[in-house]
């Protein structure tokens, strides 16, 4: 997709007309001019032709506007208002939806606040774990409803790599030696995972997805995460493995330094969709998404040279995402209130390949076993020894499956019984994964205070449950004991340090 071939001279009158309708701010992307008015947005396709899209004539641009409306109304129907035609009057002036000659068309959308873009919320520190959990459910629901495709797989992903290679060479954000080295790594990964890509296509994992799920195309609309601006100009580029769709926001979060949020989005998505077989593909998928942003941003840098550094950052991220990482099994035990979930959430992004470890927690497994949401309360009969044995067995099975496909994981449970600790260690031994077990210790008063502060938590344990655990004891834990009363950062740092001794980067 080498250089674009511009045909934009005939759009200048249209652009001037749209600027003059009412006060607005104009944003130019690689494919569109976006006009932000006080209560609405007009999106004008740029009169450009690339190897992967052709907006060179008004007819083609209007047809693409119609496709954009049809596709995006599947995701957020209330955001998209319709197609507006720009027409010419008898005396040569432009107007909206007149009776004269049609000279162009725009997609009309409702306006939302700039600060409600997820990219802005992440940059400003306003993206909370609760919000990312809701986003994971929205993305998962969109994939559940998406049309299953028979095409796709390794051959289709090979075409994506070929397009990206051509675009990188044409726009070259870095020197060609680095480009060739990165492209060779991506091709080697594709060869390694070709059979997996084809197997996932066969089981229905390739679907008509959003296709361009950057954080800039996700907003908070009417109080909920909303997906917009889906890829509409090429069905093949949007008919992809669902994990390749998810890889875009994961990559964006990783780049913005919100790695804990990327890992949380990944974990909450996998809580509701059974995609664990695809975990080996995520570094390839995330790196490819970074490459897409690298060459698109490098192309924009031809008109705005200040964007070159951004393109280079994306390229460097792609390189980093492909660095091999040893996938360990880390087990976190401790009485209720010791901070296992807090430590897991902060630790996971540092373990194994991107986007970090899969967290298998008995609290969440127990809720899933009973078919309720993670924050719903269960009755006492859900906590009998027999049910708990089933929960621990499921956790071990999930950890084994994760490790066998080459991804790291965290097993999070009370682990106060010696046989449960031995059983989770045996999972690591059977799969050949490095293992590190930690017991989080804290005074009873600290445990009680933390339990009292819980809100919307997956654990049902109250202070009485915790005190009963303490009374039973923990049967001489042989794992590394850590002071859980200290700050989370210090605690996580100790776990990471010890884990890297058995699973170096």
Residues with Cβ within 8 Å of 20's Cβ and at least 6 positions away in sequence, in order, are none
Least-confidence region, from 43-57, 87-101, 237-251, 373-387? 43-57
Cα end-to-end span (Å), the chain: 35
Give pLDDT, residue 182: 98
Residue 3's pLDDT band (cuts 50, 70, 90): very low
If asked whether residues 364 and 238 sit together in one domain, one would say no
Specify whether 203 is located in the same domain as 78. no
* Residue 502 pLDDT level (bands cut at 50, 70, 90): low
Q: What pLDDT sits at residue 7?
A: 57
State pTM to two decimals: 0.93
For residues 327 and 122, what is the distance between their CA atoms, to the nearest angstrom?
A: 27
- Check whether residue 346 and residue 474 sit in a common domain: yes
Structure confidence by residue, pLDDT tens digits, 417-437: 999 999 999 999 999 999 999
Per-residue model confidence (pLDDT) at position 1: 39
Average per-residue pLDDT in the chain? 94
pLDDT of residue 29: 86
* 238 and 343 in a common domain: no
Is 377 in the same domain as 287? no
Task: Determine the pLDDT at residue 474.
Answer: 85
401 pLDDT more than 90 = yes
Q: Which of 111, 128, 144 is the last residue of a domain?
A: 111
Q: Are residues 487 and 354 in the same domain?
A: yes
Inter-residue contact 376 to 319 (CB < 8 Å)? no
Contacts with 386 (C-beta within 8 Å, 6 or more apart), sequence order: none
State the average pLDDT over residues 68-83.
Answer: 95
Per-residue DSSP letter, 337: T
Which of 13-17, 108-112, 473-477 is predicted with the least confidence, judged by mean pLDDT?
473-477
pLDDT, residue 10, reads: 76
Judged against a pLDDT cut of 50, whether residue 264 lies above it is answered with: yes
Residue 9 confidence class, pLDDT cut points 50, 70, 90: low
Domain tally for the chain? 3
Whether 151 and 300 share a structural domain: yes
248 and 353 share one domain: no
Please give the structure tokens belonging to residue 142: 């969109």
pLDDT of the residue at 505: 62
DSSP summary character for residue 146: S
Distance CA 318, CA 230 (A): 23
* pLDDT at residue 282, rounded to an integer: 98
Q: Are residues 142 and 285 in the same domain?
A: yes
Would you state the pLDDT for residue 191? 98
Q: pLDDT at position 8, please?
A: 58
- In angstroms, the CA 442 to CA 488 distance is 13
Residue 2 has pLDDT above 50, yes or no: no
In 305-344, at which residue ranges do the beta strands (DSSP E only) sit? 329-333
Over residues 30-48, mean pLDDT? 94
Final residue before a domain boundary, out of 87, 111, 135: 111
**3-class DSSP state for residue 222?**
coil
Name the β-bridge partners of 36: 25, 41
160 vs 186: CA distance, rounded Å? 11
Residue 97 DSSP one-character state = S
End-of-domain residue from the set 270, 300, 321: 321
Q: Looking at per-residue confidence, does 153 or 300 come out higher?
A: 153
Sign of CA dihedral 391, 392, 397, 398: positive
Range of the domain at 61: 5-111
What average pLDDT score do residues 390-398 get? 98
Question: What distances in angstroms separate CA 466 from CA 10, 426, 472, 478, one per listed residue?
Answer: 72, 27, 10, 21
**46 and 20 housed in the same domain:** yes
Q: What is the pLDDT of residues 161-190, one digit of tens each?
A: 999 999 999 999 999 999 999 999 999 999
Q: Can you give the CATH number for the domain in which 426 is found?
A: 3.40.50.300
Same domain, 103 and 175: no
CATH number of the structural domain spanning residue 230: 3.90.1200.10
Based on the domain organization, do 39 and 181 belong to the same domain?
no
Q: Are 233 and 52 in contact (CB under 8 A)?
A: yes
Tell me the H-state helices in 301-384: 308-321, 340-347, 362-369
Q: What is the pLDDT of residue 475?
A: 77
Could you tell me the pLDDT band of residue 52, with boundaries at 50, 70 and 90?
confident
For residue 51, what pLDDT band results from cuts at 50, 70 and 90?
Answer: confident
């Amino acid at each position: 997709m080498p250089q674009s071939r511009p045909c934009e001279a005939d759009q200048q009158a249209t652009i001037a007309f749209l600027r003059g309708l009412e006060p607005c701010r104009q944003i130019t992307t690689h494919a569109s001019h976006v006009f932000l008015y006080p209560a609405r947005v007009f999106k004008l396709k740029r009169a450009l032709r690339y190897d992967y899209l052709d907006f060179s004539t008004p007819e083609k641009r209007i047809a693409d506007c119609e496709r954009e409306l049809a596709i995006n109304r599947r995701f957020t129907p209330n955001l998209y208002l319709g197609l507006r035609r720009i027409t010419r009057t008898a005396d040569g002036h432009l107007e909206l939806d007149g009776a004269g000659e049609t000279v162009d068309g725009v997609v009309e959308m409702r306006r939302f606040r700039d600060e409600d873009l997820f990219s802005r919320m992440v940059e400003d520190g306003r993206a909370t774990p609760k919000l990312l959990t809701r986003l994971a459910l929205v993305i998962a629901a969109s994939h559940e409803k998406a049309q299953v495709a028979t095409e796709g797989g390794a051959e289709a992903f090979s075409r994506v790599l070929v397009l990206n290679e051509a675009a990188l060479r044409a726009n070259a954000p870095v020197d060609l030696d680095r480009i060739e080295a990165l492209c060779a790594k991506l091709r080697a990964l594709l060869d390694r995972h070709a059979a997996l890509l084809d197997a996932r296509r066969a089981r229905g994992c390739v679907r008509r997805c959003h296709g361009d799920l950057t954080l800039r195309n996700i907003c908070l609309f009417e109080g909920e995460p909303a997906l917009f601006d889906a890829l509409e100009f090429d069905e093949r580029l949007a008919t992809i493995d669902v994990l390749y769709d998810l890889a875009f926001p994961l990559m964006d979060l990783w780049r913005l330094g919100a790695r804990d949020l990327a890992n949380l989005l990944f974990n909450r998505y996998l809580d509701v969709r059974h995609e664990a077989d695809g975990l080996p593909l995520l570094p390839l998928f995330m790196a490819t998404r970074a490459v897409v942003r690298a060459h698109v941003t490098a192309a924009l840098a031809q008109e705005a040279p200040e964007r070159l550094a951004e393109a280079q950052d994306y390229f460097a991220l792609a390189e980093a995402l492909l660095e091999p990482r040893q996938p360990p099994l880390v087990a976190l035990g401790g009485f209720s209130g010791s901070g296992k979930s807090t430590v897991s959430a902060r630790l996971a992004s540092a373990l194994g390949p991107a986007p970090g470890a899969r967290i298998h927690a008995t609290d969440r497994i127990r809720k899933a076993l009973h078919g309720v949401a993670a924050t719903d309360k269960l009755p006492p009969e859900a906590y009998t020894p027999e049910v708990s044995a089933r929960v621990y067995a499921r956790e071990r099975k999930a950890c084994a499956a994760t490790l066998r496909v080459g991804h790291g994981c965290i097993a999070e449970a009370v682990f106060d019984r010696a046989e449960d600790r031995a059983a989770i260690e045996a999972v690591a031994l059977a799969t050949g994964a490095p293992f590190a077990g930690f017991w989080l210790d804290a005074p009873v008063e600290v445990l009680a205070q933390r339990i009292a502060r819980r809100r919307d938590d997956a654990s049902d344990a109250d202070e009485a449950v915790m005190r009963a655990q303490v009374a039973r004891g923990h049967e001489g834990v042989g794992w590394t004991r850590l002071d859980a009363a200290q700050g989370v950062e210090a605690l996580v740092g100790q776990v990471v340090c010890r884990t890297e001794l058995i699973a170096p980067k």
